[in-house]
Amino acid sequence: MLAKRIIPCLDIRDGKTVKGIKFVDIREVGDPVELGAAYALQGADELVFLDITASHEGRKTFVQLVKRIALHLNIPFTVGGGISEPGDIEALLSAGADKVSINSAAIGNPELIDRMAMNFGSQFVVVAIDALEENGKWTAYINGGRIPTDKELFTWAKEAENRGAGEILFTSMNHDGTKNGFACSAIAKLSDMLSIPVIASGGAGTMEHFKDVFTTGKADAGLAASIFHYNEISIPQLKAYLHAEGISVRI
C-alpha cells in the first residue's frame, strides 16, 4: 500500500543549515549533507532543502551543495527557494535534485510551470503555495509570505495542476509556527479536488497532528521543520505511532 510520506524541511543559507538543530552523533551540526543523511537513516521518506540565501554567490554555493547532497543521499529530495530562471532549474536538476519547487516565480509567471513540465517532466515540478485565510478566503502570498497576491488558493492550485505541476506543497500561514495542528479542512479540500499529491505544511506540533492530516486532512505527505530539528518528535517514534493508528507508513 502506498505509504504516507514524512518530510523534514531544512533551511539553508550560504550552504549551511540555518537553525540550531539538535541532533546527536553529528560531527558538524551545520552541514546539510550530514543532517540529510541522518534524517534518511531515521526513516525520513523525502527531504526538502530550502535555500534562503539572497546573494548570487550564495546561489552557486547552493548548486554545489545540491551535488554533494545527491551524491550522499539515497532518498528523494526537493530543492526550492527563490528559483525563478529556467537556467536555475536546469542547474539544480542536473546537479541531482529529484524535484524543484517554485513559489513566487510561478505566481509571477505561471507559464514557467508549463515550461518546466514540458522540458523536464511533471514529476520534477513542485508548486509551493503559501496561503493565509482571512474571512473564509484563502489568499496566496509571495516573497516568503510577505506580499499578498490576487490568487486564491484553490483556483491557483487547480491552475498549477492543469499547467503540469506534479505536486502541490501547501503551507498554511495561519498555522505555520503555531504547533496547533495542520489546516486539515483546507488540505482535504485541496486533496479531493486535485489528482496530484498534496504535501501539507504548517502547524505540526504533535504526533496526533500527523494522524489528523493523513486522515481528515487526506494529505499524501506531511512536512515539518522545527519539531524534527529540535527532536521534539523523532521520526521512528512518529512512524511507529502512525502505524499503530492504522496509517500506512514505511517502517
Partner 1 sequence: MSVDFAMQRLGIESYVTDDHDLIRSADRVIFPGVGEAGTTMKYLKNHKLDQLIRDLRQPVLGICLGLQLMCSHSEEGDTECLGIFGEKVKKFIPWKDHNTNFKVPHMGWNNISGLQDGIFSRDLENQFVYFVHSFYAATGEHTVAACDYLVPFSAALRKENFYATQFHPEKSGRVGAQILKNFIEL
Q: Is 96 in the site for partner 1 (CB under 8 A)?
A: yes
What cell was used for 64? 554545489
Q: How far apart are CB 96 and partner 1 at their closest, in Å?
A: 5
Which listed residue (132, 218, 226, 240) binds partner 1 by CB under 8 A? 218
Q: Is 211 in the site for partner 1 (CB under 8 A)?
A: no
Q: Is 247 in the site for partner 1 (CB under 8 A)?
A: no
Burial of 86 (0-12, 13-18, 19+ CB in 10 A): middle
Q: Is 213 in the site for partner 1 (CB under 8 A)?
A: no
Q: How far apart are CB 56 and partner 1 at their closest, in Å?
A: 24
The size of the interface with partner 1 (CB under 8 A), counted in residues, is 30
Q: Is 221 in the site for partner 1 (CB under 8 A)?
A: yes
What cell was used for 38? 541522518
Q: Which stretch binds partner 1 (CB under 8 A): 18-26, 135-143, 169-177, 216-224?
A: 216-224
Q: How far apart are CB 197 and partner 1 at their closest, in Å?
A: 6
What cell was used for 233? 518528535
Q: How far apart are CB 178 and partner 1 at their closest, in Å?
A: 27
- Candidates 46, 57, 13; CA nearest to 169 is 46
- Residues 68 to 87 in contact with partner 1, rule: CB under 8 A: 70-72, 74-76
What's the DSSP call for residue 123?
Answer: G
Q: Is 123 in the site for partner 1 (CB under 8 A)?
A: yes
Which alpha helices (H) appear in 110-152, and where do they start and end?
111-120
Which listed residue (141, 220, 228, 229) binds partner 1 by CB under 8 A? 220
Q: Is 197 in the site for partner 1 (CB under 8 A)?
A: yes
Strands 5-13 and 16-17: antiparallel
Contacts 24+ apart (CB under 8 A), 235-238: 235/6, 235/8, 235/39, 235/42, 235/43, 235/44, 236/42, 236/43, 237/207, 238/6, 238/207, 238/210
Residues noted as catalytic: 11, 130
- SS3 of residue 228 by DSSP: helix
The residue ranges that bind partner 1 (CB under 8 A) are 1-3, 5, 40, 45, 70-72, 74-76, 94, 96, 98, 121-123, 166-167, 191-192, 194-197, 218, 220-221, 250
